[in-house]
Amino acid sequence: MSHLNGAANGHPSALADLILTDLTAAPTPRSRHAVEEDTPARRIRLTPASAVRMRAVHWLWAERVPAGALTVIPGREGIGKSLTLAWLTARLTRGELPGIHFGTPRPVIYAATEDSWEHTIGPRLYAAGADLDMVFQVEVERPGGLDQLTLPRDCDELAEVIAEMGVVMLAADPLLSLISATINTHQDRDLRTALEPLVRLADRTGCAVVGLAHFNKSANTDALNLITGSRAFSAVARAVLAIARDPQAEDGSCVLSQAKNNLGRLDLPSLRYVVRSADVPTEDGAPASVGVLDFTGESDRSVADILTEGAGDPAERAERDEAAEWIGEFLASRGGQAPYADVLKAARAEGIAERTLKRARTRAGAVSERSGFPAKTVWRLPDSDAPSPTPPVRPQSGQWGQPLDPGPTGPTAARLADPAHAPSSATEHQTTFTDLSGETS
């Protein structure tokens, strides 16, 4: 303060001179305007909705996986998520996947970081029946060697390659491993900086991005909330196909359900699949043993059903098990079927609540059907000789544009046609796969 006092008494100090100089050098309104002129202007632009070009939704996998968008496939470890991705890849490269590329084999870029290409990825694709000449491992050249694909840094160059080669799917196994380590994947805002450029890439090129994700350890029953990392994974994705193992299935099968579908129907039937072992010949002479996914048809149990049952209170599960046993005995005593009104009346007499009764029906293996006029709901055991009403065929979406064989679920359960091109030289070693209708080809 002595310097400032000295300046006030007519003896300016060096510090006071410096302060005065800074004050006189403050920018004038004109100089601030000049700075603003050097900065690119930001202006609001309004576009009327009438000027927006409307586009139809195209489906990579009919009504389940949209083309030109991000799809996430989450589930626990060891239930066939990677095999599902290999199955999709194989069907696309053979032109066998119901959707816009049905009948036309198309290339796929496969980004896998957790498994060895030589020991696992290659043999897995081979066993799934993929045309290996149309599946491309992706790496990034840099000074001094090779690096893995990193998002969002490599998005622009990746888009150029996709457009040049006509790639229809980027398979990410898992999606999380492609995101730059500098991004906090548990923070919504941070994660979006990687996912949104990827979504723009998909929209610009028409290439579907299908990424695998893991379920976290929480007891949540919502598949979207179980995805490890930020909620942005499920929020940015236009479709989510959740997978879970069915503990009630004697064959150890798993269920695939549509947990999210912003561009189409959500009431799609769940699909059931089993994983079998296959031996693939190698250059070393000894075969490589890998898993192969076989869809066996539709499932009357969804992933939501499985997650809800698994997270329930032990006492509630025991109560539901007892109710399921009672349902089986009651229907068997009525010749295998009974009107739901009769089932409910008898259940209440036994002290079984309606909510418990309904939740136990699936566990008992009973099906619910409506028949007659006026229509009445009937519960029936599947091995009953009583005829079951034919379920109506749901209207097929007009957005995907590929005619398929009609069936109880429309295009999602249509038989996969034989490839319309000559098989590769590796076909003689490939294993038989089961299509969505349960038939083999």
Question: pLDDT tens digits for 367-416?
Answer: 888 877 777 899 999 865 444 443 333 333 333 333 344 333 333 333 33
Q: Are residues 296 and 320 in the same domain?
A: no
User: Could you tell me the end-to-end alpha-carbon distance of the chain, in angstroms, rounded to an integer?
Assistant: 93
Domain stops at, among 357, 380, 403: 380
> Considering the domain boundaries, does residue 274 fall inside one?
yes
- Residue indicated by tokens 């990687």: 194
Q: Are residues 71 and 137 in the same domain?
A: yes
**How many separate domains does the chain show?**
2
Which pLDDT score is estimated for 14?
53
> Considering the domain boundaries, does residue 409 fall inside one?
no
> Considering the domain boundaries, does residue 53 fall inside one?
no
Cα–Cα dist 311/221, whole Å: 7
Q: For strands 208-214 and 70-75, give the pairing.
A: parallel
Quick count: other Cβ atoms within 10 Å of Cβ 139?
12
Summarize pLDDT for 215-249 with one digit per residue, the tens.
998 878 899 999 999 999 999 999 999 999 998 88
Indicate which CATH number applies to the domain containing 205.
3.40.50.300
Domain stops at, among 242, 277, 303: 303
Which pLDDT score is estimated for 427?
41
Which pLDDT score is estimated for 202?
97
Cα–Cα dist 57/68, whole Å: 9
Q: Are residues 290 and 158 in the same domain?
A: yes
> Considering the domain boundaries, does residue 180 fall inside one?
yes
Q: Are residues 325 and 260 in the same domain?
A: no
> Considering the domain boundaries, does residue 105 fall inside one?
yes
Which pLDDT score is estimated for 20?
47
Q: Are residues 235 and 336 in the same domain?
A: no
Tokens of 420: 């319309």
> Considering the domain boundaries, does residue 10 fall inside one?
no
Which pLDDT score is estimated for 313?
64
Domain stops at, among 329, 351, 380: 380
Q: Are residues 110 and 84 in the same domain?
A: yes
Q: Are residues 76 and 103 in the same domain?
A: yes
Residues in the chain with pLDDT values less than 70: 1-39, 311-314, 383-441
Q: Are residues 291 and 347 in the same domain?
A: no
Which pLDDT score is estimated for 394?
35
Q: Are residues 191 and 275 in the same domain?
A: yes
- 93 contacts 101 by C-beta, under 8 angstroms: no
Q: Are residues 230 and 328 in the same domain?
A: no
> Considering the domain boundaries, does residue 376 fall inside one?
yes
Which pLDDT score is estimated for 41?
85
Q: Are residues 212 and 350 in the same domain?
A: no
124 lies in which domain range?
59-303
Q: Are residues 333 and 229 in the same domain?
A: no
pTM: 0.69
